[in-house]
Amino acid sequence: MKDVAEAAGVALKTVSRVVNGEATVAPETLDRVQQAIRTLGYRRDEGARQLRHGRSQAIALVVRDIADPFFAAIGRAVETRAEEDDLVVMIGSSHDDPAREREVALGFCARRPTGLIIAPIAKRQDYLLPDISAGLAVCAVDRPAQGIPCDAVLSDNAAGVRMAVEHLLRHGHRRIGYLGDDPAVFTARERVAAFRATMAEHGVPVDEHEVRLGAPGREFVAAALRTMFDPSDPVTALVTGNNRITAEVLRHLADAPHRPALVAFDDLELAELLRPGLTVVAQDPVAMGEAVMRLLSSRLADPAREPAEVRIPVRLIPRGSGELRPR
Amino acid sequence: MKDVAEAAGVALKTVSRVVNGEATVAPETLDRVQQAIRTLGYRRDEGARQLRHGRSQAIALVVRDIADPFFAAIGRAVETRAEEDDLVVMIGSSHDDPAREREVALGFCARRPTGLIIAPIAKRQDYLLPDISAGLAVCAVDRPAQGIPCDAVLSDNAAGVRMAVEHLLRHGHRRIGYLGDDPAVFTARERVAAFRATMAEHGVPVDEHEVRLGAPGREFVAAALRTMFDPSDPVTALVTGNNRITAEVLRHLADAPHRPALVAFDDLELAELLRPGLTVVAQDPVAMGEAVMRLLSSRLADPAREPAEVRIPVRLIPRGSGELRPR
DNA sequence: GGTTCACGTGACAACGTTATCCCGGCATGG
DNA sequence: CCATGCCGGGATAACGTTGTCACGTGAACC
């Protein structure tokens, strides 16, 4: 900037004015400065700007795994919106490790971003309190944060599971199994609760061994399927509570002669190519990312606003698998 | 930091020493300062640190689309390695738009990151020259950069296509179609050239209408398949040059009574679940991300080193589709 | 006993930017 | 002709950090 000022024969501050598009610069001076900027290839140092200004024009995004298509889609939506406001996006993955979540989030906070988006894993996010008091806008996504006043954008898990169950009931199924994630996980709790509630509403009793919850993995899924398809009393349909479980179930059933009816929470890439088709309850990660950015803006505009919770609608995409009649 | 110094009754500089783990602090002073840091919830401001130090502890990653599983996997690998060195990762997508690539990359450069990783789309990346002279380490991935001296990490496209073709030849196919991306794309050129070369080596003539190149899309793929499966002289096997084309082909053929033998360049998530199985040439995005990070480190250690090009091996994963005998 | 030396600590400047305050000149109005 | 006001532009300090240098104290050495 000093060099530019020298080249244009003006003071440092005038260059600053030009760079920031302030109106109080005479047209002729403006030209000279812009010329010098081009000649010297000058670009404002955002780091220094941040130091002066207090906050960096950046959004931090802490997800569970950026390679997970769901979070990748959220990331893309966030990035698209962020770019419109000239914000850069910093991304980190917690890999479902609470300590790592904290590490990554605090590492981002040291960059003093404008906003922080977090898909919470840890029990509490109170380690963010100092930064929140210092003006950081925080928004949770996928799950609510605990221990901090914080906006949240969540899928409408209950409605999604209700749609899945009612879809199967409509097609004549009565013995429906539910295979979900560890109940320590917020979304898993919401989804299994909705499963029980919907079944109860329709007067369909639920055997306890028809509901299996656990960490998605080969052993868990294999054991659960053995129980559910016990020849003495097999289920005719299955609802899976997240995409890792769905994938594992599909792997197990890929070469079975008849696949049971299956409705999966969370869409899978290429699900449309599977035969028989896979009916899914699709979340809307793009809408979630956009909602998060809206909440962040509004939070920055009014830091004292009450924490809001936004539920993003989900969508049942019938692809044939629910229509399989009970055997 | 000033507050911490005051609370601990030491000078600013001593706090700095503690924060940076310098050894020249007396144990008793160290304790006092660390106590004050905890009490006040102090964290070093990375922005200010950068200003002093010249470069930010950050890696910028410009990909074509962060929601693409291939780039998401690269992103995760980069992030994992970066975290080990306390580097944050900034991610942006060019969405295959040269102007946007420039915009995003230069926006990152204004943050003065330590390294920039780019999946080039634009014809030339010479807009990075000023930053490179200023000490920015740059590495291209997926495709080489043009107009700048720059390391690159690429898949071994030629070997992959060779494996695909030879796999099909081994299974008795002689009429093999190739469906690839627009030849303006570097990888597309390498792959189709390898197709022709391998066929020629094995003395199998290639009809011109058996090779179709174009932007992946419904119309292009539909037209290409019509030509190739013309009943008068149909191909018995197909090689697809990237995953968007593969997905489109599968969509077209999903409900066909017999699917031709198919080998796809680039793995698809859940490809193992498709029936008939899909044989693929899998790239190794994780290895690519790791190689990129190694190149960046070595570039930082020796900015004058000659640009290097690293080829990452690909792997043929037979899943049955190549074994389909010619009809 | 004086000279080195090592060690722990502190004062200060500088990184690149911008907010605040100030100055000089020109036009306008009485 | 002078007072007033406006406008373009400059000097300075400050944001939070760290590299450089210097200071003071005690111990070890000849």
Overall average pLDDT of the A217-230 stretch:
91
Q: Does A1 touch chain B (CB under 8 A)?
A: no
Alpha-carbon distance of A203 to B38, in angstroms, equals: 56
Residue nearest to nucleotide D18 (CA to C1'): B52
pLDDT tens for each residue of A194-215: 999 999 999 999 988 899 999 9
pLDDT tens for each residue of B77-133: 999 999 999 999 999 999 999 999 999 999 999 999 999 999 999 999 999 999 999
Architecture of domain B157-283+316-323: 3-Layer(aba) Sandwich (3.40)
Domains B2-44 and B55-154+285-312 belong to one CATH topology: no
Q: What mean pLDDT is reported for chain B? A: 93
CB-nearest to B106 from A43, A72, A272 is A43
Alpha-carbon distance of B224 to B227, in angstroms, equals: 5
Q: What is the pLDDT of residue B325?
A: 62
Overall average pLDDT of the B60-74 stretch:
96
Q: Which residues touch strand C (CB under 7 A)?
A: A 1-2, 12-13, 16, 19-20, 43-45, 48-49, 51-53; B 9-14, 17, 23-26, 28-30, 48, 51-52, 54
B296: its two tokens? 């960046």
Overall average pLDDT of the B1-26 stretch:
91
pLDDT score of B322 more than 70:
no
Superfamily of domain B55-154+285-312: Response regulator (3.40.50.2300)
Cα separation values, B29 from B18, B35, B36, B39, B44, Å: 9, 10, 11, 15, 19
Diameter of chain A by CA atoms?
A: 91
pLDDT tens for each residue of A1-22: 888 998 888 989 999 999 988 8
Alpha-carbon distance of B185 to B191, in angstroms, equals: 10
Overall average pLDDT of the A81-105 stretch:
96
Q: Which of A186, A203, A197, A187 is nearest to A162 (CA)?
A: A197
Confidence band, pLDDT 50/70/90 cuts, at residue B253: confident
Buried b or exposed e, range A51-80, using 16+ CB within 10 angstroms: beeebbbbbbbbbbbbbbbbbbbbbbbbbb
Which residue has 């997970």 as its token pair?
Answer: A68
Q: What is the pLDDT of residue A276?
A: 82
Overall average pLDDT of the B277-291 stretch:
96
Q: Hey, where are the domains in chain A? A: 2-44, 55-154+285-312, 157-283+316-323
CB-nearest to B90 from A47, A48, A89 is A89
Q: What is the pLDDT of residue B23?
A: 84
* Bases on strand C under 7 Å from any protein CB: 7-12, 14-20
| Residue A317 DSSP class | E
3-state secondary structure of A151: strand
Confidence band, pLDDT 50/70/90 cuts, at residue A260: confident
- The highest-level CATH class for domain B2-44 is mainly alpha
Confidence band, pLDDT 50/70/90 cuts, at residue B256: confident
Alpha-carbon distance of B311 to B81, in angstroms, equals: 19
Contact of B95 with A76, CB cutoff 8 Å:
no
Chain A 37..56 CB hits on strand D (< 7 A): 48, 51-52, 54
Overall average pLDDT of the B53-77 stretch:
96
- Spatial CB neighbours of B91, under 8 Å, sequence gap ≥ 6: A66, A75, A79, A89, A90, A91, B60, B61, B62, B63, B66, B75
Cα separation values, B158 from A43, A299, B196, B197, B315, Å: 40, 52, 10, 9, 12
3-state secondary structure of A254: coil
Q: What is the pLDDT of residue B275?
A: 82
Q: How many CB pairs under 8 A join A and B?
A: 143
pLDDT score of B266 more than 80:
yes
Of A72-81, A231-240, A302-311, the poorest mean pLDDT is in A231-240
Q: What is the pLDDT of residue A324?
A: 62
pLDDT tens for each residue of A65-85: 999 999 999 999 999 999 999
Percent of chain A, pLDDT > 70?
98
pLDDT score of A327 more than 60:
no
pLDDT score of B252 more than 60:
yes
Q: Which of A242, A47, A258 is nearest to A142 (CA)?
A: A242
Of A165-174, A265-274, B44-53, the poorest mean pLDDT is in A265-274
Contact of B41 with B80, CB cutoff 8 Å:
no
Q: Which of A224, A214, A207 is nearest to A260 (CA)?
A: A224
Of A148-157, A255-264, B76-85, B200-209, the poorest mean pLDDT is in A255-264
pLDDT tens for each residue of B227-237: 898 888 889 99
Write out the E strands in chain A.
Answer: 56-63, 88-93, 113-118, 137-141, 151-155, 176-180, 211-213, 237-240, 261-265, 279-282, 309-312, 315-317
Q: Does B251 touch chain A (CB under 8 A)?
A: yes
Q: Does B286 touch chain A (CB under 8 A)?
A: no
- CA B208, distance to chain mean position in Å, is 31
Overall average pLDDT of the B204-228 stretch:
92
Q: Which of B158, B180, B176, B150 is nearest to B292 (CA)?
A: B150
The DSSP-derived string for B205-227 is: ---GGGEEE---SHHHHHHHHHH
**Cβ–Cβ below 8 Å for B47 and A275:** no
Overall average pLDDT of the A226-254 stretch:
90
Q: Does B111 touch chain A (CB under 8 A)?
A: yes
Give A75's contacts in chain B (Cβ within 8 Å): 66-67, 91
Q: What is the pLDDT of residue A122?
A: 96
First to last CA, chain B: 76
pLDDT tens for each residue of B14-40: 999 999 988 888 889 999 999 999 999
pLDDT tens for each residue of A311-324: 999 999 998 766 66
